[in-house]
Structures are given as structure tokens and as C-alpha cells.
């Protein structure tokens, strides 16, 4: 359930959220976390997004990956974009742990998806990362295979934990504590309801840039609980899932709209920011079967207004997911005594109240 903003009367956008207002509102999507808080210097973890139940390796889903600003170490993108599909869960972790997490994901895929009579000899693991080194001793690389397996095996289609969990454990945004945020939107197309969900890992932004639903909160809270921190320029990973039938090209277009959601929170994509968006559609499964010469698929007609609704849903859900990560996070002390303060929610609410005529509150 991700109603922390809405319960405070802050509604981002105009489209309705799904039942839990998280990415698992997309049928078949599951999310799991492993959170690692150890001693005074480990604040990190791993988050798994499983696009679809069943054997994802042998029944892949359409996907696309977009680099907004490439100062980042995400892996798996060239093959996603060449073949237009994804064959593993998507894992998020910290910058220096990508190699180990990638290796663990290969083990898990072999364990989980192998079938008799076929050998899995090539796997394209998909991992994205942000840098949690302000709070976490990143050189230590503590995320091990068992942590990855736990995140994957505990992944659940029933709820998504937000805030200081999983890959979000050590992250910061706008010099507040950040973490994992997730949201969803319902879109009615041709009389039927579809869902688009987002899970994001925001780790970017200078304090004064933060905007919440057009209120310049970052300026009002310019010095609130702020530490002298290095110009940690951060990054963000946005994962977008949907059951709307979209082709690879259309998923590229959707993923690119993540930028607008980021911009609406005040983000401006600094030099040192690794900003990546991955989008997948579960509507058509692609059998890993060389004997199937043709596939009959349905896809959205992007001639008409329908695709604009998909773009709008993406932008709103990305914006809200970033804010939800902030509203769900708790103040955290980590490596070298560094302290990231949580967003002071009561104070934020008072800023909204002062504004009074705020149209969307």
C-alpha cells in the first residue's frame, strides 16, 4: 500500500491509482527486498522486481531500457534493446555490488528456470544501481548470493515495502533520506482497465531543488537537518511495468517519459547522475522457441490519444514514486556517523496549508 501522500491530502496527477498504488498492481509482478543494516557502516541491500510469474526465461516479456544520463553502471541494456525483451528479474543494488549481484542472478536463473532437455548457456542479467556511499561502506560489497536469493525468493505479488528497505537502504534524495518508492495508475483503453506501475530508487538532487506538487519545499527547508556532505550527485533507477500491450519501440517511448516525472520533483540530472529507466510489458509472452516462426501479438496503436494516457500515467507515477520514497523513509545514521534526515512530514504539510489555494490539495 503506498498511500502516504494521498493520506496527507497530496495527490500527484489526475489519474487513479491501482488497488495498492504500487507496481504489483500490474498482474504477475512481484517485488522482494533484502535489507542489510550491520554495525555502524553497512546500510545497503538488494531489491528484486520479477516482471512475471511463470518461467520468464522461456517466456520472455517485451522490454526497453533508456539511458537518461549515463554516469552509471547498469548492466544488461544492449541485449534488452537489440532483442526487445527481458529474460530475468530486474535487480537493484549499490554501485560496487553490481558484479556480485549479477553473478548471483545467473545462479538463480539456472536454478529456477532450467527445464529438462535444454541447457541454459547464455543469460542476460539486468541490474541497475545507485551509489549509497554516504551512509554505506560501499567498498566492502556485502551483498552476497544468499541476499540476492532471499530478495528473489521472497518476492511477493501481495505488497511492496517502501522506504529504507532493499536497495534503498542507504540512498538519499534532495539531501533527505530516500529509499524505495512505488506507485501505479489505472488506464482505461477500449473499455477495459489496464495498469501501469512504477518502482523507483531515487538517489539524486540538491536540497533546494525539491518540489512537491509545485510547492518549493526544498527552498523552505533549505537547511533542515542538513549536513556538510560531498557533492554526491546521485542517480535514479526507474522501473516501469504494465499489462498494456506495447512493442519495444513503444516501451522506449514510455521509458523516456520518466524524465518528466523526475523533472517535476525538481530533479535536473546532474553530471554525475546515473539515470536509467527500464520498461516492460507483460501483455505478450515471447516463447524462447526457435521453431515458432511467427508471433501474433496485439499492440497499442500509437496514432491515437491512447499513448498519451500511457505517457501521462508514467509521468505521474514516476513523480509520485519518488516522493513516496521520501515520505516513507526514516532518518538514518551510517558510515562515519553520517546522518540523513527524513523529510519532516508535518512541516511539509504545513507548507501546503500555508499555500492555501493549492489546486490539487
Q: Which helix or strand (DSSP H or E) is residue 86 part of?
A: strand 85-86
Should residue 190 be labelled a site residue for a copy of itself when binding is judged by CB under 8 A? yes
- 3-class SS of residue 70: strand
117: cell is 532437455
Scored b (16 or more CB within 10 A) or e, 211-242 reads bbbebbbbeebeeebeeeeeebbbbbbbbbbb
Question: What DSSP string runs through 53-95?
Answer: SS-TTTEEEEEEEEEEEE-S--BSHHHHHHHSEE-S-EEEEEG
Should residue 70 be labelled a site residue for a copy of itself when binding is judged by CB under 8 A? yes
Question: In whole angstroms, how close is the CB of 239 to a copy of itself at the nearest point?
Answer: 16
Per-residue mark of binding to a copy of itself, 209-238 (x: CB under 8 A) = --x--xxx--xx----------x-x-----
Question: In whole angstroms, how close is the CB of 157 to a copy of itself at the nearest point?
Answer: 26
Catalytic residue among 87, 162, 175, 275: 275
164: cell is 529504507
173: cell is 534524495
Binding residue for a copy of itself, selected from 102, 178, 324, 332, defined by CB under 8 A: 102
126: cell is 539486468
Q: Is 275 a catalytic residue?
A: yes
Cβ closest to a copy of itself, residue 27 vs residue 70: 70
Should residue 99 be labelled a site residue for a copy of itself when binding is judged by CB under 8 A? yes
Question: In whole angstroms, how close is the CB of 262 to a copy of itself at the nearest point?
Answer: 8
Size of the site for a copy of itself (CB under 8 A): 100
Should residue 84 be labelled a site residue for a copy of itself when binding is judged by CB under 8 A? yes
Question: In whole angstroms, how close is the CB of 15 to a copy of itself at the nearest point?
Answer: 12
Q: Is 273 a catalytic residue?
A: yes
- 3-class SS of residue 199: strand
Q: How far apart are CA 74 and CA 128, in angstroms?
A: 4
Cβ closest to a copy of itself, residue 1 vs residue 78: 78
Per-residue mark of binding to a copy of itself, 297-326 (x: CB under 8 A) = xxxxxxxxxxxx--xx--x-----------
Catalytic residue among 273, 281, 324, 328: 273
Which residues, including other chains, have CB under 8 Å from residue 107's CB and lie 6 or more apart? 145, 149
Binding residue for a copy of itself, selected from 50, 56, 98, 325, defined by CB under 8 A: 98
Should residue 106 be labelled a site residue for a copy of itself when binding is judged by CB under 8 A? yes
Should residue 124 be labelled a site residue for a copy of itself when binding is judged by CB under 8 A? yes
Q: Which one, of 201, 257, 176, lies nearest residue 13 by Cα?
A: 257
CA atoms within 13 A on the CB side of 243: 19
Should residue 82 be labelled a site residue for a copy of itself when binding is judged by CB under 8 A? yes
Contact set for a copy of itself, span 169-188 (CB under 8 A): none
**Cα–Cα distances in Å, from 234 out to 121, 174, 264, 311?**
35, 9, 17, 25
Question: In whole angstroms, how close is the CB of 52 to a copy of itself at the nearest point?
Answer: 17
Beta-sheet strand order (sheet of 90-94):
30-38, 42-50, 90-94, 126-130
Contact set for a copy of itself, span 4-23 (CB under 8 A): none
109: cell is 536463473
- Are 215 and 184 in contact by the 8 Å Cβ rule? The answer is no
Cβ closest to a copy of itself, residue 176 vs residue 276: 276
Contact set for a copy of itself, span 243-302 (CB under 8 A): 245, 247-249, 253, 256-257, 259-260, 263-264, 267-271, 274, 276, 286-302
- Residue carrying the nine cell digits 517466456: 59
Catalytic residue among 133, 178, 184, 235: 235
Cβ closest to a copy of itself, residue 160 vs residue 300: 300
**Cα–Cα distances in Å, from 21 out to 17, 79, 333?**
5, 30, 29
Active site residues: 235, 273, 275
Amino acid at each position: 500500500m503506498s498511500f502516504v501522500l494521498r493520506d496527507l491530502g497530496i495527490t500527484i496527477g489526475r489519474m487513479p491509482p491501482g488497488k495498492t498504488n504500487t507496481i504489483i498492481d500490474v498482474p504477475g509482478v512481484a517485488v522482494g527486498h533484502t535489507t542489510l543494516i550491520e554495525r555502524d557502516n553497512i546500510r545497503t541491500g538488494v531489491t528484486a522486481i520479477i516482471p512475471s510469474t511463470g518461467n520468464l526465461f522461456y517466456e520472455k516479456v517485451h522490454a526497453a531500457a533508456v539511458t537518461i544520463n549515463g554516469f552509471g553502471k547498469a548492466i544488461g541494456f544492449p541485449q534488452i534493446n537489440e532483442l526487445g525483451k527481458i529474460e530475468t528479474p530486474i535487480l537493484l543494488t549499490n554501485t560496487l555490488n553490481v558484479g556480485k549481484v549479477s553473478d548471483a542472478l545467473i545462479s538463480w536463473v539456472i536454478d529456477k528456470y532450467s527445464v529438462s532437455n535444454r541447457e541454459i548457456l547464455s543469460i542476460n542479467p539486468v541490474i541497475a544501481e545507485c551509489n549509497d556511499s554516504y551512509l554505506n561502506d560501499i567498498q566492502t560489497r556485502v551483498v552476497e548470493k544468499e541476499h540476492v536469493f532471499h530478495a528473489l525468493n521472497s518476492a511477493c505479488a501481495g505488497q511492496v515495502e517502501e522506504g529504507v528497505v532493499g536497495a534503498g537502504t542507504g540512498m538519499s534524495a534532495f539531501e533527505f533520506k530516500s529509499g524505495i518508492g512505488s506507485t501505479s495508475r489505472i488506464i482505461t483503453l477500449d473499455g477495459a482497465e489496464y495498469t501501469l506501475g512504477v518502482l523507483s530508487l531515487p538517489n539524486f538532487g540538491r536540497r533546494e531543488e525539491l518540489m512537491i506538487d509545485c510547492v518549493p519545499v526544498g527552498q523552505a527547508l533549505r537547511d533542515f537537518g542538513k549536513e556538510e556532505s560531498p557533492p554526491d550527485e546521485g542517480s535514479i533507477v526507474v522501473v516501469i511495468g504494465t499489462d498494456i500491450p506495447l512493442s519495444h519501440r513503444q516501451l522506449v517511448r514510455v521509458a523516456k517519459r520518466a524524465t518528466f516525472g523526475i523533472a517535476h520533483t525538481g530533479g535536473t540530472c546532474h553530471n554525475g547522475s546515473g539515470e536509467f529507466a527500464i520498461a516492460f510489458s507483460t501483455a505478450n509472452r515471447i516463447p524462447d522457441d526457435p521453431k515458432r516462426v511467427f508471433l501474433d501479438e496485439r499492440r497499442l496503436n500509437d496514432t491515437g490519444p491512447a499513448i498519451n494516457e500511457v505517457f501521462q500515467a508514467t509521468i505521474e507515477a514516476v513523480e509520485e514514486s519518488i516522493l513516496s520514497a521520501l515520505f516513507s523513509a526514516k532518518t538514518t545514521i551510517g558510515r562515519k556517523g553520517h546522518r540523513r534526515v527524513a523529510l519532516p512530514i508535518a512541516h511539509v504539510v504545513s507548507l501546503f496549508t500555508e499555500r492555501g489555494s493549492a489546486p490539487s490539495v
